[in-house]
């Protein structure tokens, strides 16, 4: 996880962000964010991950959401370009972190999108290990032209999904492929053509519709490792639905990060994604997530 020492909510670039509420108790919420971060790191380890921690940087509070830093597959990284100026300083900071990961042997190649081609990382390009494709969003943050660069760089199929709501400013807020082949998603977040494309590719019995409350809890923004799912505390309905499918849910209280529009997936960037079927890159004998 990117260490939350510099995390705060001091601007608004999505509908979930609450800078006024943060400022009413900044010290208390900063302590609560540290506890939530530690709980998530413990939950990831419980799920079987090794966690590599990177330092954040002063003045870049949203570095705590490294899912937006870039897209990683087969040890190759495509560094994000941010739409909003509040986050553009993260590009150089994350490039430095990626270079450190390359020196450690955890990455082997780093590339960038062309200037002006906005794309906000794995939050808008989610690898589906079963279908061996990227579900890639465009709309509020990432540009449609970024999809061709993803396909070219990784030489993988990219399935475009247009986002229909500013509430779901990244795909990971509303869309989560699971290891059993199911897709947990929030239907109102996608345009009609995107829903049609999704339903053409995924059988109806594998589509798990999340409710508005599930979305608001940021439970769809989850980390799935095997049959374990780490997520912000789900509704009883969602927890039961996942358990009936054979998943073990590990709930985490992430309230301080929801105030900035983020959940468990946002706070991690997985290094182990592989394009080979049923194969994950390993660090030691455990899966590796960069959180």
- Catalytic residue selected from 133, 149, 170, 176: 170
CA dihedral 118, 202, 47, 241 (to 10 degrees): 120
170 noted as active-site residue: yes
- Catalytic residue selected from 49, 174, 176, 266: 266
Tokens of 160: 């475009």
Range list of H helices, the chain: 19-24, 26-46, 85-103, 146-154, 192-201, 212-216, 236-244, 255-258
Residues 6+ positions from 155 with CB-CB distance below 8 Å: none
Q: Coil, strand, or helix at residue 87?
A: helix
Q: How far is CA 290 from the centre of its chain?
A: 11
Residues 6+ positions from 203 with CB-CB distance below 8 Å: none
Q: Which residues are catalytic?
A: 170, 266
């Amino acid at each position: 996880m990117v260490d939350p020492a510099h995390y705060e909510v001091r601007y608004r670039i999505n509908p979930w962000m609450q800078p006024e509420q943060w400022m009413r108790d900044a010290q208390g919420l900063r302590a609560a964010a540290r506890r939530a971060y530690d709980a998530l790191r413990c939950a990831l380890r419980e799920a079987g991950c090794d966690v590599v921690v990177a330092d954040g940087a002063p003045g870049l509070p949203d570095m705590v959401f490294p899912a937006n830093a870039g897209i990683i597959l087969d040890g190759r990284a495509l560094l994000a370009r941010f739409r909003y100026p509040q986050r553009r300083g993260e590009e150089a900071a994350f490039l430095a972190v990626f270079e450190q990961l390359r020196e450690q042997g955890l990455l082997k190649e780093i590339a960038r999108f062309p200037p002006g081609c906005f794309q906000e990382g794995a939050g808008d390009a989610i690898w589906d290990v079963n279908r061996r494709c990227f579900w890639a969003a465009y709309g509020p943050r990432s540009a449609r032209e970024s999809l061709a660069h993803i396909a070219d760089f990784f030489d993988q199929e990219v399935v475009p999904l247009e986002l229909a709501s500013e509430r779901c400013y990244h795909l990971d807020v509303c869309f989560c492929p699971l290891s059993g082949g199911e897709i947990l998603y929030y239907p109102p977040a996608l345009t009609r053509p995107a829903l049609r494309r999704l339903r053409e590719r995924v059988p109806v019995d594998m589509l798990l519709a999340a409710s508005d409350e599930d979305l608001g809890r940021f439970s769809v923004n989850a980390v799935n490792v095997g049959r374990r799912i780490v997520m912000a505390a789900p509704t009883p309905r969602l927890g039961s639905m996942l358990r009936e499918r054979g998943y073990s849910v590990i709930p985490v209280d992430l309230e301080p990060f929801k105030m900035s529009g983020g959940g468990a997936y946002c706070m991690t960037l997985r290094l182990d994604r592989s394009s080979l079927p049923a194969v994950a890159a390993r660090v030691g004998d455990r899966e590796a997530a960069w959180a």
